[in-house]
A and B are shown apart, each in its own frame.
Chain A
Amino acid sequence: MDTPPRLILYSEEDRPAYSEDGVDLTLIRWMLTFTPTERLNILQQNMISINRLKNAGIRAATHRNFPRS
């Protein structure tokens, strides 16, 4: 069976996407393009999104355990 295609488009001229210890360097480079205010807004949105997902999970589990019918 053929090796599945790599999901990261990469050429020899590109800077590496990952460090040798596995850190995603593309995310770091992306974050460094923003101002501190923009970085803080990204963090704030992440916090809100994760919290919404957590609450949705709790609601789903409650519904599974205590269905209204």
Chain B
Amino acid sequence: MQESVPQLIEIFRVLDNHQVEFIVVGGVCAVLHGAPITTFDLDLVHSRTPENLNCLLNALIDLKASYRGHSKRIQPDVKLLASPGHHLLITRFGPLDFLGTIEKGLGYSDLIRNSEKIHIENLGVRILSLEYLIEIKEVASREKDRLTLPVLKHTLKEREKNKKA
């Protein structure tokens, strides 16, 4: 049965099983840094190397992924996933978005140097640094991105205070 909210840990587990390289961006990334916000989007930027695209495709087959909002079931393939576009998918664990690139055309290879690896349960998950997430949200033109900015900036400040204390 398809879930209407993403089952976050289950999705991360399947991606880990298939050794998919990705970076968590957006609202879930903000929450993992400690920002008290709610989101329904799981946004991931994937590496578009041929090896990773194969791993990703296998993971998406495992997740029974197809593109959301189409009357006909369209399944992702390597050619589609290699594009810089956004792949808005529905899976057996709920909605999941894979993004080839984000603001300013930044892809996985650009973002990795501004990311960090954290542990969720026993899984290693790469997320965008909070500083860089703020930088990206600042240049974003969408109103919804700008709305979360004050919370992200204060989360960073409070985190810095905790480090000093």
Asked if B31 contacts A40 (CB within 8 A), the reply is yes
Asked if A34 contacts B34 (CB within 8 A), the reply is yes
Q: Check: B146 CB closer than 8 A to any chain A CB.
A: no
Q: Which residues of A contact B162 (CB under 8 A)?
A: 32
Q: What is the interface size of chain A, counting residues whose CB is below 8 A from a CB of the partner?
A: 25
Asked if B40 contacts A28 (CB within 8 A), the reply is no
Asked if B154 contacts A28 (CB within 8 A), the reply is yes
Write out, one digit per residue, whether chain B residues 30-58 have a CB within 8 A of any chain A CB (1) or not (0).
01101110111000000000000000000
Asked if A47 contacts B40 (CB within 8 A), the reply is yes
Q: Check: B139 CB closer than 8 A to any chain A CB.
A: no
Bound state CA distance, A48 and B28, in angstroms?
15
Q: Check: B72 CB closer than 8 A to any chain A CB.
A: no
Asked if A29 contacts B32 (CB within 8 A), the reply is no
Asked if A28 contacts B151 (CB within 8 A), the reply is yes
Q: Which residues of A contact B36 (CB under 8 A)?
A: 24, 27-28, 30-31
A-B contact pairs, 12 of them (CB 8 A): A24-B36, A25-B158, A28-B155, A32-B159, A34-B34, A36-B32, A36-B119, A40-B8, A43-B31, A43-B39, A47-B38, A50-B38
